[in-house]
Amino acid sequence: MSDHIDVHKVARLGALAIGADEVGAVGQKLNAIVGLFDDLAAINTDGIEPMAHPLDQVQRLRVDVVIEKDIHQYVQQIAPRVEAGLYLVPKVIE
């Protein structure tokens, strides 16, 4: 990170509480992380196929069946306005 302001911005975005005495150390760690991404971006990947997983594995699949009961009519009984199984809401954009 270039300065303490950037570290505080990143901390706020990440909902992290960083004390004034930790700013320097956190900045160095963030710089190291950004450096790793720079190293990865510099690697020549021409001719390499993208992978979904680093190991050649097959995803186990299960039968696609509905296991829950259809309760939408029961749930929609408390809705203020319903039409054709859909919830009707007030228009908020002109």
Predicted local confidence at residue 2, as pLDDT = 59
Q: The pTM is what? A: 0.48
Q: Is residue 23 assigned to a domain?
A: yes
Q: Return the pLDDT at 29.
A: 92
Domain range spanning residue 13? 4-41
> Within a domain: residue 54?
no
11 inside domain: yes
Domain count, the chain: 1
Q: Is residue 85 part of a domain?
A: no
In a domain, 94, yes or no: no
Q: Which residue type, as a one-letter code, is found at position 31?
A: N
Identity at 76, one-letter amino acid code: Q
Distance CA 47, CA 60 (A): 29
Structural domain includes residue 58: no
Residues in the chain, pLDDT under 50: none
